[in-house]
Amino acid sequence: MTSSAFSRWWRNLSDGVISTARGMRITLRTFLRKPVTVQYPDEKPDLGGRYRGIHYLEQDLCIYCDACAKACPVDCIEMDATRHGKELEWHAFTLDYNRCMLCELCVYPCPKDCIHQGEEYALVTEDREDMVRDLLTWKGLTEEQKQKVAEVEALKAQRAAGGGE
């Protein structure tokens, strides 16, 4: 009885010392390892390239076909443009992030593959109205477009004049 109690005492003691040493070895190993922390506002985490963040639009490719707006299950895309022959005069292409659930269903139906979801995810505003984002990079007609429209108009006028003879 006494000898077994004594051996148990020694075993408890050595177990305690050994397990403490083991635990300290583990924490030391972690201590020497590189921390996994990402210093957020200064550096961004690697999102893996397939992240569905805030949309961006390649406006020069877009043909104002409304396919994305029709596909949207929460109806958050609205677009407005005037056609001048083949050229588009953009007025608005808004996406309401109050409603958008970043489901990517607007991206698939696009025939020109011009709407995408990027890696930007921090959409912070003080006002709800600011959550309605305009995806356009420019509004109205560009100089190039104006020139093309003018050329077409001139050609039309020429043809009209020619047809009148």
Total site size for other proteins, rule CB under 8 A: 17
Comparing CB distances to other proteins, the nearer of 31 and 163 is 31
CA nearest 155: which of 85, 99, 101?
85
Question: Per rule CB under 8 A, is residue 2 in the interface with other proteins?
Answer: no
Site for other proteins contains 3 (CB under 8 A): no
Task: CB nearer to other proteins: give 26 or 122.
Answer: 26
* CB nearer to other proteins: pick between 7 and 158: 7
Burial class (CB in 10 A: 0-12, 13-18, 19+), 56: middle
Q: Please classify residue 59 by burial: count the beta carbons closer than 10 Å to its beta carbon, then call 0-12 exposed, 13-18 middle and 19+ buried.
A: middle
Work out whether 24 is an interface residue with other proteins (CB under 8 A): yes
Q: Does 26 bind other proteins (CB under 8 A)?
A: yes
Residue 96 C-beta-side C-alpha neighbours within 13 Å: 13
Does position 28 bind other proteins by CB under 8 A?
A: yes
Distance CA 144, CA 139 (A): 13
Stretch binding other proteins (CB under 8 A), from 24-32, 106-114, 124-132, 153-161: 24-32
HEC sequence for 118-152: CCCCCCCCCCHHHHEEECCCCCECCHHHHHHHHHH
- From 19-27, 45-53, 74-82, 110-118, span contacting other proteins (CB under 8 A): 19-27
Binding site for other proteins (CB under 8 A): 9, 12-13, 16, 20, 23-24, 26-28, 30-31, 33, 35-37, 39
